[in-house]
């Protein structure tokens, strides 16, 4: 039953993709319908409905809605299947006779897949509510819906199939389906050269990553008989070969997940895709990469080494800090969110690294705690990053603007969007009572247990990374204060922002509202989520987090109640009491109601929106403090005039901030590849006789090898 | 019973906070040869402000009006977590020290947003500076706190204090470093000299005051109260963690009274130390603050490392 639900999720998403191809087939459908109706003929009512929906103007709307409804149902199926397997803690296996005759697809659906099914399901559900309103804005001639719908369906189906795969063959096919489908989604608005470039970069890195994954599986397969994960699990590898496989897998999955320094495709590709697709890519596809890494390292590869944990810890720390520092400097809202995904993936990698370190040092309970914290953060990130991307989509839809320096004052024009976006910002800044805080709290609790380790270097390394995590969290709060403050508060900075209105299509608010509600509910009742995650930890590590049940369900006590506890519900009650008492006490006298007046302008005359802090002004102190973290090109030019050329007529300010990775890592690689290509070019003489000579030489060489 | 005492403690915290601010001002005035206002002046100021009609800019959104309540509640919650006169109270278990830091972040988040809400340059300036420096101060504070919690192997403040009481007077290098780090952070986070000066409105240097420039009436009262509460909270944190002697371990009336007396005298001494340092030290240039906070961070890290290397070595 559970497996049928999982399959139907895949099939429904495929069906939604295929259905969207019908956009251009209205006439065929019309003929079919009239043919069909001739046979039925009796039911006048039914006939009316069919022809009504096939009307020239209504048909695209009807089709869009049906496509998204199918996608939504697929999401619901995925949630149900995931929850069923998480609660029952069973493992379902199956074989499908697809693919090559002697290589059937092996399917396995266990708790780990179930969790990620739930993540995808929630995201897809929210997107399907949001989508119909969002895609209305696209011109059919330029950006056909058929393309968007088809590849969205394939993309979702690919992600779900990756989670179901139980052999390397099926895994790679599903992985490629996901990668290639998302490439077309990134390239959807291909009339813009920058988008084409971003899409190509994405495809290139996705394929390099896929190669690394294939090689990683290849290393394992050479020690095993067969490509099924069961066979790969049995493989006996020496530590060196296992480490090689780990490094390859880390490269492949890390490239998809977007850890520094192989994150460069992410801030290019995510902003140019349509917003609901960026939400899926950032919120969900990165999680699928994470799933791959967890499945490969903890499950298939088996015995993890603590050195791998150190690698993950260091890479994660660098990604977290680098991601948020780069995010801080962005003015494009979606680019900023993409960089912030790098940060969050970094945090997850850090905690996963801790899990490996504890696991190899004989501390399975602490490893389970770390593992749980990582999964919890992955889940939370999927929720709030989806929410924020969908929010950014609404803003883009209503203001046609993504530059946060051109916005402002939207809280009055779009109050509901503002509230939803605020919840997202609070969650991602890990403020108490919201979900982001719970997972960071768990991460801190894990890091504080470093005392139990014997290795002195590890014991001092882990607290240092915890300190970096604290810095990351604080910088994230600063970053999202900037985002919310500049976009929604203050005076409108442009005409578009001034004329913005709340979205008409209610689904565009309901989708994000569900995510926002989940962010808050999980922040207040983390115990439910911990219970579900425990079944994953149980199936992967064979160990659950010992949430101190003596303290009751209200409390979160990961190690023991004496060591640390957190009761978000009581905190919420306390906050409500404190807030209500002060509010009631101070507002009881109607005579002292608020008086509104002009803003104080220091007596200089009217304030304009140009006098407000901009993005670059807001981050100036940080830019100065962490100056080494970016390549900053700041230029101030003054136009001079007057008799002695001493009066300043105008000042031009230019600020260009770049990632360190481009000049340090990618440009050398690029020039090396070019140089190599030139060398190879030498043997291409263009003369057919030479080429025949090459063939002959190769043939001789082969014969010699064979004999 | 224990919940009652916890509520009593929170109320004590809230009511005593302005008195500490008054005492600090009194000490400073006497040190600087000025005539001191009465000790109760902060109370009078708060009452005066609550009776005034607040004036709000036309540009303000709901966030600006709600923010003072949110800020004040968050700080009150943070205060209720910290053991003031007794340990083993249930509130310390509902939220540990990391959550307490989270409450501070919560309050700061809304205060910074409120600063940006009106759309004046001052508000933005204050928000930008506050978020910058607090994002440097927060990790330093967590480092200091982690040193303590790793020593006591708990993040529950009450248990940490009980642990220190239990150990007796032992000189630990890690605690000395943590104490120094926490002192530096406390000065920065409560906006005192040399990082910020709560008594001036000079645009070159002000941080906290720039954000709340637009507030008046009861809104201003709440924010002022919250910042007084924050000052006291850091004082109590330092006094009770590093010098916990005198705090009540049982809930008898005598022990509680003794605990109250102990914390009042400890805070009085701390305030004198702060007043002396504020009189002796000049305000720092804005872009020196990161060095100051970096130093605090380093001290916290040194504390942690010395705990790991010297004290927990096996």
Whether B93 sits inside 8 A of A484 (CB atoms) is no
| B104 part of contact set with chain A, CB < 8 Å | no
Q: How confident is the model at residue B203 (pLDDT cuts 50, 70, 90)?
A: confident
Tell me the two tokens of residue A592: 């002292």
E-only strand ranges, A72-164: 92-96, 105-109
Interface predicted TM-score (ipTM) of this complex, two decimals: 0.96
Query: Can you give the pLDDT at residue A641?
Result: 85
- Name the residue in chain B with its Cα closest to that of A484: B113
- C-alpha neighbours within 13 Å on the C-beta side of residue B199: 9
- C-alpha neighbours within 13 Å on the C-beta side of residue A449: 25
pLDDT, tens digit (0-9, with 9 covering 90-100), for A94-151:
988 877 777 888 999 999 999 999 999 999 999 999 998 888 877 777 778 888 999 9
- Name the residue in chain B with its Cα closest to that of A625: B290
How near does any CA of chain A get to the CA of B74, in Å? 7
Mutate which: A557, A590, A625, vs B, most B CBs within 10 A: A625
| B188 part of contact set with chain A, CB < 8 Å | no
Whether residue A548 is predicted with pLDDT greater than 60 in this model: the reply is no
Whether B135 sits inside 8 A of A477 (CB atoms) is yes
pLDDT, tens digit (0-9, with 9 covering 90-100), for A563-612:
788 888 888 998 999 888 888 888 777 777 888 998 888 787 778 888 89
* Count of pairs with CB atoms under 8 A, one residue in A, one in B: 261
How near does any CA of chain A get to the CA of B225, in Å? 12
pTM for the structure as a whole: 0.94
Residue A652, SS3?
strand
Paired residues of A657 in beta bridges: A632
Residues of chain B positioned with their CB less than 8 A from the CB of A582: 69, 72-73, 222
Least confident of A57-71, A164-178, A309-323: A57-71
| A33 part of contact set with chain B, CB < 8 Å | no
pLDDT, tens digit (0-9, with 9 covering 90-100), for B170-187:
888 899 999 999 999 999
- Name the residue in chain B with its Cα closest to that of A574: B77
- Burial of A514-542, coded b for 16+ CB within 10 Å and e otherwise, reads bbbebbbebbbbbbebbebbbbbbebbbe
- Name the residue in chain A with its Cα closest to that of B61: A412
Assess contact for A589 and B182: CB atoms under 8 A: no
Least confident of A27-41, A222-236, B233-247: A27-41
Quote the DSSP letter at residue B37: P
Assess contact for A582 and B73: CB atoms under 8 A: yes
Query: Sign (positive/negative) of CA torsion A610, A614, A618, A621?
Result: negative
The rounded distance, in Å, linking the Cα atoms of A232 and B267 is 64
A573-579: Cβ within 8 A, 24+ apart: A574/B77, A574/B80, A574/B94, A575/A433, A575/B73, A575/B74, A575/B77, A578/B72, A578/B73, A578/B76, A578/B77, A579/B69, A579/B70, A579/B73
Minimal Cβ distance to A579: which of B69, B133, B314: B69
| A642 part of contact set with chain B, CB < 8 Å | no
Residues of chain A positioned with their CB less than 8 A from the CB of B188: none
Residue A136, SS3?
coil
Residue A338, SS3?
helix
Phi, psi of A110 (to 5 degrees): -125, -170
The rounded distance, in Å, linking the Cα atoms of A102 and A396 is 50
Q: How confident is the model at residue B3 (pLDDT cuts 50, 70, 90)?
A: confident
Assess contact for B177 and B295: CB atoms under 8 A: no
Phi, psi of A654 (to 5 degrees): -125, 135
Minimal Cβ distance to A474: which of B98, B138, B308: B138
Minimal Cβ distance to B99: which of A422, A566, A619: A566
Whether residue A647 is predicted with pLDDT greater than 90 in this model: the reply is no
Whether residue A46 is predicted with pLDDT greater than 80 in this model: the reply is no
Query: Can you give the pLDDT at residue A683?
Result: 84
pLDDT, tens digit (0-9, with 9 covering 90-100), for B46-78:
999 998 889 999 989 999 999 999 999 999 999
Mean pLDDT of A438-461: 88
The rounded distance, in Å, linking the Cα atoms of A183 and A252 is 17
Whether residue A545 is predicted with pLDDT greater than 80 in this model: the reply is no
- Residue A271's alpha-carbon distances to A175, A183, A256, A338, A614, in angstroms, are 22, 13, 16, 7, 21
The kind and range of the H/E element at B314 are none
Contacts of B19 (CB under 8 A, 6+ apart): B39, B40, B42, B43
DSSP states along A89-106:
---EEEEE--SSTT-PEE
Query: Can you give the pLDDT at residue A42?
Result: 55
| B15 part of contact set with chain A, CB < 8 Å | no
Mean pLDDT of A216-231: 90
The kind and range of the H/E element at B141 are helix B121-152
Whether residue B153 is predicted with pLDDT greater than 90 in this model: the reply is no
Tell me the two tokens of residue B141: 């504070």
Give the CA angle between residues A87, A92, A97 to the nearest 5°.
150
The rounded distance, in Å, linking the Cα atoms of A636 and A654 is 6
Encode A185-241 in three state secondary structure. HHCCCCCCHHHHHHHHHHHHHHHHHHHHHHHHHHHHHCCCCCCEHHHHHHCCCCHHH
| A252 part of contact set with chain B, CB < 8 Å | no
Residue A566, SS3?
strand
Whether B312 sits inside 8 A of A464 (CB atoms) is no
Minimal Cβ distance to A621: which of B96, B128, B217: B128
pLDDT, tens digit (0-9, with 9 covering 90-100), for A234-246:
888 889 999 999 9
| A445 part of contact set with chain B, CB < 8 Å | yes
- Name the residue in chain A with its Cα closest to that of B134: A474
Q: How confident is the model at residue A617 (pLDDT cuts 50, 70, 90)?
A: very high
Residues of chain B positioned with their CB less than 8 A from the CB of A620: 128
Residue A110, SS3?
coil
């Amino acid at each position: 039953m559970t497996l049928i639900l999982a399959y139907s999720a895949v099939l429904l998403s495929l069906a939604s993709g295929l259905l969207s191809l019908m956009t251009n087939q209205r006439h065929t459908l019309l003929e079919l319908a009239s043919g069909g109706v001739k046979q039925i003929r009796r039911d006048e009512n039914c006939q009316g409905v069919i022809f009504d929906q096939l009307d020239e103007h209504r048909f695209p709307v009807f089709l869009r809605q049906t496509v998204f409804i199918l996608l939504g149902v697929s999401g619901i199926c995925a949630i149900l299947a995931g929850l069923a397997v998480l609660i029952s803690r069973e493992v379902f296996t199956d074989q499908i006779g697809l693919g090559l005759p002697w290589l059937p697809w092996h399917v396995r659906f266990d708790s780990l897949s179930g969790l990620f099914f739930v993540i995808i399901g929630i995201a897809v559900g929210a997107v399907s509510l949001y989508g119909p309103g969002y895609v209305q804005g696209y011109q059919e001639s330029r950006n056909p819906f058929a393309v968007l719908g088809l590849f969205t369906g394939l993309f979702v189906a690919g992600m779900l199939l990756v989670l179901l795969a139980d052999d390397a063959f099926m895994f790679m096919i599903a992985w490629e389906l996901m990668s290639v489908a998302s490439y077309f989604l990134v390239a959807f608005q291909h009339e813009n050269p920058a988008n084409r470039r971003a899409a190509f970069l994405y495809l290139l890195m996705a394929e390099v990553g896929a190669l690394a994954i294939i090689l990683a599986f290849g290393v394992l397969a050479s020690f095993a008989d067969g490509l099924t994960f069961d066979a790969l699990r049995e493989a006996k590898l020496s530590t060196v070969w296992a480490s090689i496989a780990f490094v390859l897998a880390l490269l492949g999955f890390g490239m998809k997940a977007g850890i520094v320094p192989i994150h460069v495709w992410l801030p290019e590709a995510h902003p140019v895709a349509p917003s609901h697709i960026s939400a899926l890519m950032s919120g969900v596809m990165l999680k699928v990469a994470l799933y791959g890494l967890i499945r490969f390292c903890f499950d298939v590869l088996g015995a993890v080494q603590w050195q791998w944990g150190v690698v993950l810890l260091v890479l994660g720390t660098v990604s977290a800090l680098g991601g948020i520092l780069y995010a801080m400097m962005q003015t494009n809202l979606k680019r900023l969110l993409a960089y912030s995904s790098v940060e969050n993936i970094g945090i997850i990698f850090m905690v996963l690294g801790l899990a490996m370190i504890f696991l190899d040092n004989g501390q399975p309970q602490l490893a389970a705690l770390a593992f749980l914290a990582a999964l919890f953060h992955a889940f939370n990130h999927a929720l709030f990053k989806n929410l924020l991307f969908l929010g950014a989509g609404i803003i883009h839809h209503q203001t046609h603007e993504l530059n946060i320096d051109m916005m402002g004052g939207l809280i009055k024009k779009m109050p509901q969007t503002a509230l939803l976006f605020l919840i997202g910002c609070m969650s991602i800044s890990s403020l108490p009572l919201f979900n982001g805080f719970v997972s960071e709290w768990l991460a801190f609790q894990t890091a504080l247990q470093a005392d139990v380790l014997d290795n002195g270097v590890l014991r001092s390394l882990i607290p240092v990374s915890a300190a970096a995590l604290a810095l990351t969290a604080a910088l994230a709060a600063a970053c999202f204060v900037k985002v919310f403050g500049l976009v929604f508060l203050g005076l409108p900075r442009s005409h578009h922002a001034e004329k913005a209105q709340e979205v008409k299509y209610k689904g565009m608010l309901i989708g994000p509202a569900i995510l926002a509600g989940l962010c808050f509910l999980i922040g207040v009742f983390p115990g439910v989520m911990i219970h579900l995650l425990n079944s994953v930890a149980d199936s992967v590590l064979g160990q659950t987090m010992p949430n101190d049940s003596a303290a009751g369900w209200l409390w979160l006590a990961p190690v023991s109640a004496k060591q640390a506890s957190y009761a978000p519900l009581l905190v919420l009650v306390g906050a409500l009491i404190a807030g209500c008492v002060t509010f009631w006490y101070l507002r009881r006298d109607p005579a002292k109601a608020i008086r509104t007046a002009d803003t104080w302008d220091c007596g200089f005359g009217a304030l304009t929106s140009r006098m407000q802090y901009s993005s670059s002004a807001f981050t100036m102190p940080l830019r100065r403090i962490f100056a080494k973290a970016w390549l900053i090109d700041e230029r101030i030019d003054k136009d001079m005039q007057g008799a002695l050329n001493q009066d300043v007529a105008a000042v031009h300010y230019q600020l260009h901030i770049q990632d360190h990775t481009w000049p340090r890592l990618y440009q050398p690689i690029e020039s090396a590849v070019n140089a190599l290509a030139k060398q190879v070019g030498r043997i291409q003489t263009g003369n057919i006789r030479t080429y025949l000579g090459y063939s002959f030489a190769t043939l001789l060489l082969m014969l010699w090898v064979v004999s | 019973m224990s919940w009652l005492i916890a509520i009593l403690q929170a109320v004590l915290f809230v009511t005593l906070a302005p008195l500490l601010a008054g005492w600090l001002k009194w000490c400073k005035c006497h040190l600087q040869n000025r005539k001191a206002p009465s000790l109760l002046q902060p109370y009078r100021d708060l009452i005066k402000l609550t009776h005034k009609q607040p004036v709000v800019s036309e540009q303000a959104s709901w966030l600006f009006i709600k923010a003072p309540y949110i800020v004040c509640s968050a700080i009150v919650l943070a205060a209720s977590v910290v053991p003031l006169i007794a340990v083993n109270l249930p509130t310390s278990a509902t939220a540990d020290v990391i959550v307490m830091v989270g409450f501070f972040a919560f309050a700061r988040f809304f205060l910074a947003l409120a600063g940006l809400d009106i759309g004046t340059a001052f508000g933005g300036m204050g928000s930008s500076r506050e978020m910058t420096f607090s994002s440097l101060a927060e990790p330093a504070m967590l480092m200091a706190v982690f040193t303590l919690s790793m020593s006591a192997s708990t993040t529950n403040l009450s248990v940490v204090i009980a642990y220190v009481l239990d150990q007796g007077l032992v000189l630990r290098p890690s605690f000395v470093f943590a104490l120094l780090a926490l002192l530096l952070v406390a000065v920065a986070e409560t906006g005192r000299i040399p990082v910020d000066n709560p008594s001036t409105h000079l645009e070159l240097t002000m941080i906290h005051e720039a954000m709340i420039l637009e507030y008046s009436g009861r809104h201003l009262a709440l924010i002022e109260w919250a910042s007084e509460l924050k000052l006291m909270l850091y004082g109590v944190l330092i006094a009770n963690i590093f010098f916990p002697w005198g705090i009540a371990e049982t809930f008898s009336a005598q022990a509680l009274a003794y605990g109250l007396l102990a914390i009042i005298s400890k805070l009085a001494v701390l305030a004198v130390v702060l007043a002396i340092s504020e009189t002796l030290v000049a305000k720092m240039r804005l872009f020196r603050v990161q060095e100051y906070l970096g130093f605090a961070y380093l001290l916290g890290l040194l504390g942690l490392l010395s705990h790991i290397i010297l004290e927990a070595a096996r």
